Amino acid sequence: MVCKTRKLVRVTKLLLAGLTVICVSWIASVNEWHARVRWRNRQVDNDHGISTMRTIIAYSQDIREEMDRPSPVRCDRLPAFPEVPSINRTWTADSSNYGTWQRVTGTKVSIYSAFYDDRTSQPYIRILAFFHGRNASADQTLFCQTRSLDPNENSVEVVAAKPLEIWWHEWDVQSTDIDYPFLLSCPLTGPLNGPTLVSLVTEPCLDPTNAHPLKHSLKRNQQKRIFTICVKDLNFDKDISQNLIEWIETNKILGVDIIDVYIGNISKEIESILQHYRDAGFIRLFHVPIRNKPERSLWQRRRDHIITYNDCLYRNIQESEFIIPLDIDEIIMPKTANSLPELLKHLVKRGWNPKEYSAIMIKNVFFFKFMQKINKNYYNYKNKSKRYAKRDDVRIRYARSTKILDENNSVHLFDKNKLGNKNSVDVNELQVYYENYNSRCGHDMPTSKLMTHVISSAFISPIGFYSKSFMVTERVLTAFNHYPLASLGTSGFDGWPAPFKEVQLNHYKESCNATVVPECELYQRDVRLDRTALRLRKKLIEALSNSICT
């Protein structure tokens, strides 16, 4: 009888152990390492039949941290102290030390930067890296060796690194020879107390051949900035000086605190403008992680940009409440508020909660240059049957029957003389600013794009298509140029769609180019009279009158 009882107990223990393994495996499969987007408690408008993003249920932060408690590896000997390369990411006109990467010996992995992350009770080291080839992350386990730079401390902590691909497999399924952006996360047994060095190795106790110093986090009670704009890989051979100045001054008016710009290839004119604003403390300049090369495909360049955006994110996790990924042809335009900080207060009343959501999603509105040449109720071109978009030679047909809609979607005939009726400013009141600019610079002030581009596409991009977002740095794990890809403690990210009545993304483009060609017919079918930016007219003209001369 005793034997039968013991046998029954043994079988019961085995069954419970097996059930535990199955449950833990299931939990592990639904975690932050499989990034997907999640919308909660809100129905997103999608009347046009365009699929946006998936919905995945999250799990608790407590479970995430329980799973990520580090299991340090013991070594028989202390790994050798690595050579620490001198890397300066700050851009200057005469510097050549750009985008320095370090290879992990014996792998196809290259490391760009490393950061200390103590946003949760479980501290991490986050490493931005490229893996060459599909499924490269499954080929080999990597380990983080972390050591203090204090000469009195002689120890190394070694833990396995968890790889997270910063990409969605639905994008670009055809390419084979690829560099994939990854975030490698190494949980620590405790917080860092001073300058620290991290290295990646293929075996726990190997002597490292790479090293990244970690910037210690700011004190928790230190005042953060609110808004930091991240500008990816600035590459312009032509002179865009006036557009750049207007974009910078507009963001200053709107209450942006600082702009982080990653420099690729720019003209001397742009260089002088950026240095002017850097000297004024409004812009920080960094080298791009990867130089723009013609042989890299469009999809690969998009992967390259992801390293830039995540470098900007992790630079700011302790410095700024939000990062905003923007290009210099995009302006986030409040409609009822006078600034972005004021807009936040409006959005809180509408349901925004930074403790519940990790990003505020903002709908995109295209202001194509060709749309500004309207005469009455059709596009006034010499050749009205066909046009070639200037940038990418994309052929688009424009119909004479195009409707002109006002802000209330009412059809009307376009009348340029009525543009100033709403948000208007007395021209004589502005004359002093034009005269001021002329006397300082010796020529007339260039025409403002924001003040002259008042015709937009009537088709508003659905959430998830060309949207931009305010990303909450306390919650975002990985980012790309439209919205987060993953957040801390969730299986995706909680995106909150901002009401279109409160804010929109003004997107100023020359033409309907290769990036939006599938939907060109939708975007050019009808147009709208959109005077949202005119409310900034007086402040912008005054700012431009005092800006750097071009």
169-183 pLDDT, tens per residue?
A: 777 776 777 889 999
Whose tokens are 């630079």? That residue is 315
Given this model, what pLDDT does residue 96 score?
A: 63
Q: What length is written for the chain?
A: 550
156 vs 145: CA distance, rounded Å: 6
Q: What is the CA radius of gyration of the chain?
A: 27
What are the Cα distances from residue 47, in Å, to 295, 414, 460, 522? 39, 27, 11, 13
DSSP, collapsed to helix, strand or coil, labels residue 55 as: coil
The pLDDT of residue 264 is 87
Burial (Cβ within 10 Å: 0-12, 13-18, ≥19) of residue 262: buried
Q: What is the pLDDT of residue 381?
A: 33
**Nearest CA among 246, 227, 253 for reference residue 322:** 227
**What pLDDT was estimated at residue 34?**
28
Q: What is the rounded distance in angstroms from the CA atom of residue 254 to the CA atom of residue 259? A: 13
Strand pairing of 179-187 and 162-165?
antiparallel
pLDDT at position 307 is 95
Sheet-wide strand order for 109-117: 102-103, 109-117, 124-132, 179-187, 162-165
| 62-70 own/partner pairs: CB under 8 Å, 24+ apart | 63/27, 64/31, 64/32, 64/488, 64/489, 65/120, 65/121, 65/122, 67/27, 67/28, 67/31, 68/122, 68/124, 68/162, 68/185, 68/187, 69/122, 69/187, 70/157, 70/159, 70/186, 70/187, 70/188, 70/189
Residue 438 to residue 549: CA distance in whole angstroms: 10
Q: Which residues of the chain fall below pLDDT 70?
A: 1-69, 95-99, 134-139, 174, 216-221, 374-427, 491-492, 514-517
| DSSP code at position 378 | E
How many CB atoms are closer than 10 A to CB 240? 18
Q: For 225-368+455-546, give the CATH class.
A: alpha beta
Distances (CA, A) of 282 to 98, 276, 441, 541: 22, 9, 22, 19
Domain ranges of the chain: 65-214, 225-368+455-546
pLDDT of residue 71: 72
In tens, the pLDDT along 523-549 reads: 888 899 999 999 999 999 999 999 999
Q: Are 462 and 48 contacting, i.e. CB atoms less than 8 angstroms apart?
A: yes
**pLDDT for residue 30:** 30
Q: Please, are residues 526 and 459 in contact by the beta-carbon 8 Å criterion?
A: yes
Q: How confident is the model at residue 35, as a pLDDT?
A: 29
This prediction's pTM:
0.81
> Are the CB atoms for 163 and 184 separated by under 8 Å?
yes
